[in-house]
């Protein structure tokens, strides 16, 4: 159910934020809290994806229900606040621009992964098309061979 998925995403965001808050001062490098930053992004993405799917799974009128709209807006704002809080903590601890660097690198890697996936789909399509073309050529060659054999058999029978 989408509401449960949204809540799970929000819970993941909250637990990640709590961990980062309690460990930011003792972290020697960003790697010590990296898995929690990853969980923070996953939770945000999970909640966002579930909220986006929710409209399709609930009734049309329920989708516009003030309670649902308010909950989605508030959840999004709470998640944004928590992300901003983590951004500030990380920038204070590791230097100005660290969070922006993390976000930019993450976006770059996501884009690279999407491009690699697109290239793989294009390559698979080309290979499929080449395979089909080869099958057509094989069928033509087999057809030609069968025709030649039939012509030879017919010539032998009628001679």
134 vs 5, which has greater pLDDT? 134
What pLDDT score does 10 carry? 80
* 49 falls within a domain: yes
* 86 falls within a domain: yes
User: How many folded domains does the chain comprise?
Assistant: 1
Give the CB-side neighbour count of residue 4, counting CA atoms within 13 A: 2
What pLDDT score does 139 carry? 96
CA distance 68 to 148: 73
The tokens of 21 are what?
Answer: 């808050």
With bands split at pLDDT 50, 70 and 90, how would you rate the model's confidence at 1?
Answer: very low
- The model's pLDDT over 80-108, given as tens digits with 9 standing for 90+, comes to 888 899 999 999 999 999 999 999 999 99
CA distance 2 to 47: 9
Q: Which range of residues forms the domain containing residue 83? A: 2-96
* 75 falls within a domain: yes
pLDDT at residue 76 is higher than 80: no
């Amino acid at each position: 159910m989408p509401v449960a998925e949204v809540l799970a995403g929000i819970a993941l965001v909250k637990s990640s934020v709590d961990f980062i808050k309690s460990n930011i001062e003792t972290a020697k490098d960003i790697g010590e809290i990296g898995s929690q930053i990853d969980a923070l992004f996953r939770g945000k993405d999970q909640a966002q994806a579930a909220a986006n799917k929710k409209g399709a799974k609930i009734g049309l009128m329920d989708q516009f229900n003030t309670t649902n709209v308010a909950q989605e807006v508030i959840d999004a704002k709470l998640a944004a606040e928590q992300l901003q809080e983590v951004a500030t903590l990380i920038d204070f601890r590791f230097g100005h621009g660290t969070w922006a660097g993390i976000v930019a690198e993450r976006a770059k890697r996501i884009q690279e992964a999407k491009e690699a996936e697109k290239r793989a789909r294009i390559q698979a399509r080309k290979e499929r098309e080449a395979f089909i073309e080869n099958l057509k050529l094989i069928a033509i060659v087999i057809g030609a061979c069968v025709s030649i054999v039939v012509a030879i058999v017919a010539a032998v029978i009628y001679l």
